[in-house]
Amino acid sequence: MVDETDTVVMVTPTIGDGTVVRWYVDEPAAEAGNEFMSASRNGVLIQTYLGNVPEGMVQSARDIHQALTEGREVGHAATHRRTRLLGGSVEPIVRVRHDLAALEQERHGGGDDD
């Protein structure tokens, strides 16, 4: 069974299929290019027994396929990326969430002091 906590998802452009989203069981599998599932505008390809993949992941792949057929952006699905366009190592994507209300509260010293 694929463990969702270690799963790596990478979004890559290709010449033939357009954008392809690939799922790997972990970073070493991503480094080696051994995906267990991919989604493109052509469909979803699963390269393991279906029962090994959590249904939520399969549904995500279906949703991404649908988005790609509609021409929508799917970069938000990526958890990792390559450090270079052609190759390079695999690194996590760090997303910064800006909570403006919390920043304003901190800036103005508005905390709950007892």
> pLDDT by residue for the chain (114 residues), tens digit each?
898 889 999 999 999 889 999 999 999 999 999 999 999 999 999 999 999 999 999 999 999 999 999 999 999 999 999 998 777 899 999 877 666 666 667 777 755 554
Task: Give the integer Cα–Cα distance in Å for 92 and 82.
Answer: 9
DSSP 8-state code for residue 93: P
3-state secondary structure of 34: coil
